[in-house]
Amino acid sequence: MAKLYFRYAAMNAGKSTALLQAAHNYEERGMHVALFTAALDERGGPGVIGSRLGLHRSAATFGPGTVFSRQALPEALACVLVDEAQFLTPEQVHQLHRLANREKLPVICYGLRSDFQGRGFPGAIALLTLADDLEEMKTICACGRKASMNMRIDAQGRRVREGEQVLIGGNESYRAVCPSCFYAEEEEGPQKAPGLFG
Ligand SMILES: [Zn+2]
């Protein structure tokens, strides 16, 4: 039975790497997949899914106006893989859920759950509500606990607490942290958090 899968994690947990591995597993068996990523993600150039391990694949892009329907996809398809799925609209999540359950086409979405203020992305909220299969991908906070939240860091290495949910073309970066560190920083005031690897 085809399902809508949501594989969610904090930043830098290897979501894109896992997506590219899943694509490879299908193709190794002679099956075709459709790859999508958000149009606003320019980390790897437009229409590219890039993993931090150096793997890159071209992908179709989706924006708020994209419609996910069986007619809009190639004929012989074994699976639809969506990166940066937190940027899907709730309506698109319904379309993908329908695609899986009515058209028998498995859809695997990879994305963030919450933003730098601990608020859910609309696409992630819809996926957590509708996905037939949920799995959290694990990554580690600098303190050693499981990281499930994201901190925004500006170009000077300071934590950013306010601003737009999505910044395009900024100099900010993100750090995956555990909930304890996410809130401790607030109580203890601004301080430079240690990097994941020193
Ligand atoms: Zn921590």
Concerning whether 84 is annotated as a catalytic residue, the answer is: yes
- What per-residue confidence (pLDDT) applies to 184? 86
C-alpha 38 – ligand 1 centre gap (Å):
29
- pLDDT 10s digit of each residue in the chain, 198 long? 899 999 999 998 999 999 999 999 999 999 999 999 999 755 555 689 988 888 899 999 999 999 999 999 988 999 999 999 999 999 999 999 999 999 999 999 999 999 999 999 999 999 999 999 999 999 999 999 999 999 999 989 999 999 998 877 677 889 999 999 999 866 554 445 555 554
Q: Tell me, letter by letter, the H, E, C secondary structure of 146-165.
A: ECCEEEEECCCCCEECCCCC
Q: What is the DSSP letter of 11?
A: T
Residue of 42, 75, 84, 135 with catalytic role: 84
C-alpha 160 – ligand 1 centre gap (Å):
17
Residues 117, 26 contacting (CB under 8 angstroms): no
B/e letters for 171-188, b = 16+ CB within 10 Å, e = fewer, are eeebbbbbeebbeebeee
**What is the C-alpha to C-alpha distance for residues 2 and 77, in angstroms, rounded to an integer?**
12
**What is the C-alpha to C-alpha distance for residues 42 and 27, in angstroms, rounded to an integer?**
26
- Domain topology for 4-136: Rossmann fold (3.40.50)
- What per-residue confidence (pLDDT) applies to 198? 41
C-alpha 135 – ligand 1 centre gap (Å):
21
In the chain, CATH 3.40.50.300 covers: 4-136
**What is the C-alpha to C-alpha distance for residues 148 and 177, in angstroms, rounded to an integer?**
6
C-alpha 187 – ligand 1 centre gap (Å):
14
Q: What is the DSSP letter of 86?
A: G
**pTM score, two decimals?**
0.89
